[in-house]
Structure 1
């Protein structure tokens, strides 16, 4: 039976709205702490202190720290992918410019949001098999995005005896490794150099 007291709106918000709001506050706090200190160095208590919530509300939203990290990683990769889709959807002068828009968005977000970069590029590794699987699924999603872009631009012309899925997975892997090196080197190279370097891989596939 529904509890009418607990389900009653509070300041115009339903219980479900308040739960979603608390969950997002916790995820925002997790992005800050994981991005600055690393996943292995933060506790539930520290996370709740950052969010200004009690531990009760953490466990209302997440089973444990790993579940929180999985949700954070999924949220941030989705943000990055959506931003890249928006960038490559803008009008541009030809294929080269379209690819450049997507790459520029990728590298720009990593530099402008170092916490996001750390979460996406480093913090999910070695946590568990489930997190490894989540990472590889995200990489497959980015590879599919590249395949769809190539189809739209008329570049999906991989030769016989090759697998286009493997090719696009390799492109994603190359860009991710370049990004990791760049971040670890404290973003020493400028963004345009990173864009042009990564674009070489796309030209090789197109040719």
Structure 2
């Protein structure tokens, strides 16, 4: 047994211990970003928050950007899973489909403010690589909504509009609403925020009408 290993990890494999330290760093980074923002975050802050020495940071990440990239992908993957669960079940009409998906998203924004700050603001204009992750995530969210709407046959995008671009625009509009809500200190009631986003879907993609 490695006698230099921390006492709390005894009996666990080196890979397991490293994975746990990696997740500690990710969790700590989310806390720091939520409180201070990515631009103010240092490796030292993350390690202090995680209760680890800096050598363990570089065991898992080459730099701050690498940590940010993994944290962002982890959080957006979790959000996509949440939204998929909200959207996949059969519904009576298109309006309920939209409300289920948007409700799950705005619950995330309201109840996970650190993650919302990361996803909505802190990854913007960091680097070309991080920008690409952001754009890909937006594409993935648009594709998710589009795929599940098709599966339930509840939305119509009339030609000559480009369906992919319409869904990208819908996701972008919802993100803008969420950003405004957060920047305003969540002062608007959640119901008003939700109805604003529902209106955009109903007007743009024929959701919630006679579908």
Query: Does the alignment reach a TM-score above 0.5?
Result: yes
CA contact (8 A) 2:47 2:57 kept: yes
* Distance in structure 2 (CA, Å) of the matches to 1:43 and 1:127: 14
119-128 or 89-98: bigger deviation? 89-98
Gaps spanning 5+ residues in structure 1: where?
none
CA contact (8 A) 1:104 1:191 kept: no
SS at match of 1:58: helix
Tell me how many residue pairs correspond in the alignment.
202
Q: Match for residue 85 of structure 1?
A: 84
Shift of 1:35: 1.2
Q: Match for residue 190 of structure 1?
A: 189
SS at match of 1:162: coil
* Distance in structure 2 (CA, Å) of the matches to 1:196 and 1:162: 24
* Distance in structure 1 (CA, Å) of the matches to 2:196 and 2:167: 17
CA contact (8 A) 2:90 2:152 kept: no
SS at match of 2:30: helix
- TM-score, scaled relative to structure 2: 0.90
- TM-score, scaled relative to structure 1: 0.92
1:40 aligns with 2:39: yes
Shift of 1:11: 2.8
Task: Trace 1:18-29 onto structure 2 (pairs within 5 A).
Answer: 18-29=17-28
Shift of 1:50: 0.4
SS at match of 1:201: helix
- Give RMSD over aligned pairs: 1.8
Which deviations, in whole Å up to 9, do the C-alpha atoms of 1:79-116 show, x marking residues without a partner?
11111111223454422112101111101111111101
Shift of 1:30: 0.4
* Distance in structure 2 (CA, Å) of the matches to 1:188 and 1:92: 31
Task: Trace 1:55-70 onto structure 2 (pairs within 5 A).
Answer: 55-70=54-69
